[in-house]
Structure 1
């Protein structure tokens, strides 16, 4: 529609009350809303408001059918492309839902999932743990992509083959900011499975931009498990071993707003722990021999036993929960599955998987732009 050639309709659109426009635009897909910003300055002003972007996100989180993106083995490539599945029937695939971003693959032909928040997905185009990876922020609903550079760093002033560099990504609601956290450490010991010295941490704020800033205070631990990508209520969590024998665990908590660390003890009665999010709270999942899978919620700084999935025995690998509280896990025969507690129904996904590091991310219609693109969109 060319509004400039239809002055009658143009005048009518200009006089639509702002609250009516707001309610209409909130229901539209993110890409269509982004295009509407070019129609007029008043529309651009409405659709650029942080309050509108948040309301649009909240609406689609609440009203849209759940769609889950599966990163097999935590990567996406020609061999393992990311797949999209409706939660109501996850065995189906939605092949045309998203368009994979084009990244520089000069040093790698794979992308590796790091984390997600509010419709943004953070990934690396290099193998995690290798030096000088390129970190990308991607909004699949807008096909928008930005890269973060200048991240080369080491544990100290030397370079060692046993140095590791792991990343996390999360949203800081206090400052309305998205942050990438880089954790660096050196492994040693007989089996190269124990952290030597201290852990070095740097944070990149998408709002501040420009550089990585050092943060001190990561607790003294023996090993960091890099499987669970958990961020909830402005906090990132790591599942860590305290001792070299890997018999005692702790959870390291990083407050993205204050940029400070603390520790959370794990319930004594459970064994191998997987971190997750349930009811917008940190949860831990643990399969107990002959007792099923237990789920504990952290409520007011105390662990509360929430649920036990006895019907699955102890032969599943828990992955986590969707935003609508469906339980994701891997079956004994290596199938990704989704359990709806309300309907007491298990639904299987398409592919067989061999490892528990498969990542499942909810697809969200979002107007949050990667930082380097935001300035261009607002001009």
Structure 2
């Protein structure tokens, strides 16, 4: 994928005969390698195997990969099997091999991506809510999360969030239940470290419901939300952002900068991508994207949180669906090929594709995807050695 920086190795000599490389040098080299190579190198010798399995090395490798080799993962088809691809920093597309196998009548949706782990909802015919799978594609491990309850999908609405807290070194899944698609009436949390669910108090979620969209940053999970209220006998709804502190297991309500937005992460801060369309539905002429960033820390009081608009993009002459911020680009799914004027769009050209808008150069370009341009989900991703599983996927010969 991405090229790795060169490392100068200084060789020492023991007893004037046996040369060896200090462990700190070996560690510095190995942390720069892709996961597939590290899995093979565990067979070189026992010291290397022990080193690669150390939690401290796994953390060092993750830190390096996150900053040097971030990847963009996109889903091309919600139907089984999980058809996933990765875009690397050299703009090369690679298919994710050997996804977990499940019933062909089911379909899958990625809930979130965090430190190389994917949280996947598997919708099975006749069973609701969806079952959940945690999967590390790089090490080919997955864990099926136990189901806690089965409910009537026509009488309940469920949302799921996934994230990691460095304070407690644990990954958690949060599932909320709302009766009849109304406000939330129950919350349960799954801990990867304990392998079990537990119910928690609603806290600030009274009269609140959540949308499916979710992101994770700085030890918290965030959703788009709506709070219902009554004033002067008149019912009203307030759009907001709901955060869940993974370590403390408490919810907080955050005012948002505007009503049309997509949650994302920018420079390790919660960000919002807002979308403004120019023209008449459904034939919009142009689209604008604004980037807002929450400047204060997650732990600050609600009164001190403030949103700052970082930039507004130049007009995008097509209809787009906002994705994520990847490196210095905003990844979008476009429903029409960008062109100078609307009349230049040809009927035989793809109407859906993955596009990158560079926030530094203002360039808007399409990503060449082998086998077609249909994309139904975009996520930040990084290869990692983080282990989760009680199942292992055998690699193809």
User: Normalising by structure 1, what TM-score?
Assistant: 0.79
CA distance in 1 between partners of 2:138 and 2:360 (Å): 30
Distance 1:12 1:178, change over 3 A: farther
1:105/1:125 contact within 8 Å kept: no
Match of 1:178 in 2: 171
Cα distance per residue 1:17-63 (max 9 Å; x no partner) = 21021012112221322333344443333222222111111222222
Q: Which runs of 5+ in 1 are unaligned?
A: 1-10, 188-193, 375-379
Q: Cα gap change, 1:123/1:70 in structure 2, threshold over 3 Å: closer, same or farther? A: same
Q: Write the mapping of 1:43-122 to structure 2, written as runs, cut at 5 A.
A: 43-64=48-69, 66-72=70-76, 75-78=78-81, 81-86=83-88, 88-89=90-91, 93-95=93-95, 98-105=96-103, 108-122=105-119
SS of alignment partner, residue 94 of structure 2? coil
Q: Give the superposition deviation at 1:315.
A: 4.6
Q: Which runs of 5+ in 2 are unaligned?
A: 1-16, 230-234, 279-286, 297-304, 337-351, 393-397
**2:216 counterpart residue number:** 231
Q: Can you list the C-alpha shifts for 1:84-123, whole angstroms capped at 9, x where unaligned?
A: 334543xx6424xx213232317x3322211111111111
Q: 2:379 aligned with 1:361, yes or no?
A: yes
State whether residues 158 and 178 of structure 2, in contact with CA within 8 Å, keep that contact through their aligned partners in structure 1. yes
Work out whether residues 130 and 164 of structure 1, in 8 Å CA contact, stay in contact via their aligned partners in 2: no
- Structure with more strand by fraction: 2
Matches within 5 A, 1:78-227: 78=81, 81-86=83-88, 88-89=90-91, 93-95=93-95, 98-105=96-103, 108-126=105-123, 130-131=127-128, 133-152=130-149, 161-187=154-180, 194-196=181-183, 198-209=184-195, 211-216=196-201, 217-226=203-212
Q: Contact conserved, 1:338 with 1:348, CA < 8 A, in 2?
A: yes
Q: TM-score, normalised by structure 2?
A: 0.75
1:128 is displaced (CA, Å) by 10
SS in 2 for 1:45: helix
The CA distance in 2 between the partners of 1:124 and 1:317, in whole Å, is 21
Deviations 1:300-331 (A, max 9, x none): 12111111113237953322211x13111233
Are 2:264 and 2:270, in contact at CA under 8 Å, matched by a contact in 1?
Answer: yes
Structure number having the greater helix percentage: 1
Tell me, in whole angstroms, the C-alpha distance in 1 between the residues paired with 2:187 and 2:292: 29
The equivalent of 1:344 in structure 2 is 362
What is the root-mean-square deviation of aligned Cα atoms in Å?
3.0
- Distance in 2 (CA, whole Å) between partners of 1:94 and 1:48 is 26
CA–CA distance in structure 2, aligned partners of residues 342 and 229 of structure 1: 26
| Contact in 2 for aligned 1:294/1:309 (Cα 8 Å) | yes
